[in-house]
Amino acid sequence: MSVLSRGFKNAFRNTIRTVSIVVILALSIALAVVMLLSVKAVDAKITDVKASVGNTITVTPAGARGFAGGGTPLTTDQLDQVASTKHVASAVGSLQDRVRTEGSSTGGPIGQNANAVTNLVSPITPGVIGQQNNGGASSSTDIAPPDFTLPITFTGATDPTSTRVNQVNSFTITSGTTIDGSSSDNVALVGKDLAEKNSLSVGSTFRAYGQDITVKGIYDTGNTFTNAGVIMPLAALQELSGQTGITSIDVKVDSVDNLDATVSALQKELGTTADVTSDATSASDTVSSLDNIRTIALYSFVGALVAGSVIILLSMVMIVRERRREIGVLKAIGSSNSKISLQFVTEALTLTLAAAAVGILIGIVLANPVLDVLVKSESSSTTASATFGPGAGPGNGPVFNADGGNGNNGNGAQRPGPPQGVNFGDVGRGFTNFGDTLSNLSTTVGLDVLLYGLIAAILIAILGSAVPSYLIARIRPAEIMRVE
């Protein structure tokens, strides 16, 4: 009988002991598998977060913000320059214009395009803020003219459905289709509330800038202001409004790790013609909590491997002590220490592989439930400071939406915004709830996990057999025979 076959059969000499060792060791390996899967899931999520949260940059004309300030619009060449910058994943150029309703007494900026008129009526009630910001009344005690309506915001964009451009958390086409941002056709996406107010549907037309514009789709963002707007291809709005520039470029960087370098590169390329701002801080809380989960999982993984090694070590020490006579006899008839050690290593490996088969199955079943517990434990301590609403800031002061109307402060209260639509909520755009990011964590099982499980089993068996092999080498046949 060969050494390997003898070691395999020895693993099943005592059924009760074999079952006990396999069950206990399987639980240790199952924990190791669960923690390994958790580490892999968290690593993948960290990479995803760095590529989707806090990795955005806003480029605006120097001195301008929304419809306030001054400066010179950016050019299409500058948009191309930004898009070609290293680490820039995408760059979306946009232009906004306020268009008056025909017959309305809405005031407008000095020198505004006389053709910036539409037959559409805004669904938003002006209120005190709207009257003050748009010339309807000079104070909260004044009464606006009866024909006063809010102007309608027309947005031209190279990516019409971009949540960053529209400053929302979600953008859904409820009917119709999207439009090509590179087109120059007079087509538009119309906000749900604006469409309802003006009885518009897909295929309808409306007048703006003295031209007929066809409705290609109706969208819903869940935001009152943006649902009252019109979105067109950038080139089309530039031609209709007589503007050749771009008022904002929203940049997405491939990873938050490259954000600072990209900001510096853009500042160097654009010089004093543009203001470059980023929102790196919005990813820090999520990545920090993910790192905490990863650390817990990694330490638990190492602990499970150590526990498995100790279990098989103690088991093999016990087995070697029980078989001292057998070892002595084998040595007496000429068997070497290496062959005897190989026999016990084979026995340990057999027990460990049997436990690994059971443990991997248990680990795969328990991976997602255990990860959910880790996520809930970690996110419950940080949820209070991690929720950002549409256009909301980090919660340390008043925040105003892009229409110059109502905005949210850090605790959700409504605050009046300053004139001309100043937006202090860029940090929170596109990042609704960091708890949602954590709750989306899930494990995936592939061949690599099975391979890691096999490697772990072999490692545990080798470590667990190291000391027994040393003990075997110390046994002297003469001493055994003398005792017997």
pLDDT, one tens digit per residue, over 248-276 is 999 988 887 888 899 999 999 999 999 99
Number of domains into which the chain is organized: 2
| Same structural domain, 305 and 273 | no
pLDDT per position as a tens digit, 401-433: 333 333 333 333 333 333 333 333 333 333 334
Task: Report the candidate in 261, 269, 285 with the shortest Cα–Cα distance to residue 384.
Answer: 285
Residues 336 and 448 in one domain: yes
Identify whether 33 is part of a domain. Answer: yes
Does residue 109 sit in the same domain as residue 129?
A: yes
Q: Compute the average pLDDT of residues 273-297.
A: 77
Nearest to 295 by CA among 214, 364, 378: 378
Q: Do residues 183 and 79 both lie within one domain?
A: yes
Token pair 């160097």 is found at: 268
The 10s digit of each residue's pLDDT in 176-204 is 999 999 999 999 999 999 999 999 999 99
CB half-sphere exposure, 260, CA atoms < 13 A: 2
Shared domain for 262 and 302, answered yes or no, is: no
- Judge if 325 and 211 occupy the same domain: no
Does residue 169 share a domain with residue 149?
yes
- Are residues 249 and 333 located together in one domain of the fold? no
Q: What's the rounded mean pLDDT across residues 135-152?
A: 60
Examine residue 344 and state whether it is found in any structural domain, yes or no: yes
The answer to whether residues 309 and 270 belong to one domain is no
Per-residue model confidence (pLDDT) at position 398: 32
**pLDDT computed for residue 460 by the predictor:** 73
pLDDT tens for residues 15-72? Answer: 888 899 889 888 888 888 888 888 888 887 777 777 666 688 899 999 887 667 778 8
pLDDT of residue 481: 61
Pairwise pLDDT comparison (385 vs 375), residue with the higher score: 375
- In terms of residue numbers, what domain contains 461? 3-49+286-382+441-483
As a residue count, the chain comes to 484
Q: Which amino acid is at 229?
A: G
In a domain, 423, yes or no: no
Statement to judge: residues 35 and 131 lie in one domain: no
CA distance 164 to 281: 16
Q: Domain ends where: 251, 278, 305?
A: 278
In a domain, 407, yes or no: no
Residues 225 and 353 in one domain: no
Task: Tell me whether residue 420 is in a domain.
Answer: no
Within a domain: residue 156?
yes
Q: Is residue 77 part of a domain?
A: yes
Q: Is 184 exposed, middle or buried (0-12, 13-18, 19+ CB in 10 A)?
A: middle
Among 278, 303, 325, the domain boundary falls at: 278
Query: Does residue 88 contact residue 82 with C-beta atoms inside 8 Å?
Result: yes
- Helix, strand and coil percent figures for the chain, each rounded to 5: 50, 15, 35
On whether residue 166 sits in a domain, the answer given is yes
Backbone φ/ψ region at 127: left (φ over 0), alpha (ψ -120 to 50), beta: left
Assess whether 210 and 119 both reside in one domain: yes
Of 262, 278, 294, which one is at a domain's C-terminal end? 278
